[in-house]
Amino acid sequence: MKIKSLVLGIGMLSLLPVNKFVAQSDQKIPVEIVDYSVDVLGRSLVYHVKEGIRSSNAFRLSYGNEARLQLIIETGDPLDAIPEYSNSMTVYSVVWVLKGDDLSSPAPIYLRSMLNRTGGDAIKVAAENIVVETDRLVTDILRYLSP
């Protein structure tokens, strides 16, 4: 069953202008951050992820209309209903998808996702972890697609 999924995934990659994505591998790879943060710590997490992408030698922020890796980040405060604990933790989801330029590409291709939680003192570490996972994912894609 895994082999069928892998073959299907390879077929899906061939539908997307992956050549554009791979061609950018010798340049900074565009990464679009889609921000669905709704809590204070979540907004801080997204900010630090963007800063990590900006300061990276491998990535640059993208705002669409090009082949890119897209990170969809959604956050929420699980303790929002308890005022004395509000803003002490955030639960976050990150979904990585590969998107082509918005005009001529099919639907985005799902690559990976994660669900986690973090507290105020660990926001920067969690953001760095997301950037590290992004780097690992891109490395895996480029390794797989290299001749």
**Chain segment 34-52, per-residue pLDDT in tens:** 999 999 999 999 999 999 9
138 within 8 A of 69, measured Cβ to Cβ: yes
**Chain segment 129-138, per-residue pLDDT in tens:** 999 999 999 9
What is the CATH classification number for the domain harbouring 94? 3.40.50
3 within 8 A of 92, measured Cβ to Cβ: no
Give percent above pLDDT 90 in the chain. 53
Strand, helix or coil for residue 97: strand
Total of domains in the chain? 1
pTM: 0.81
Task: State the residue range of the domain holding 89.
Answer: 2-145
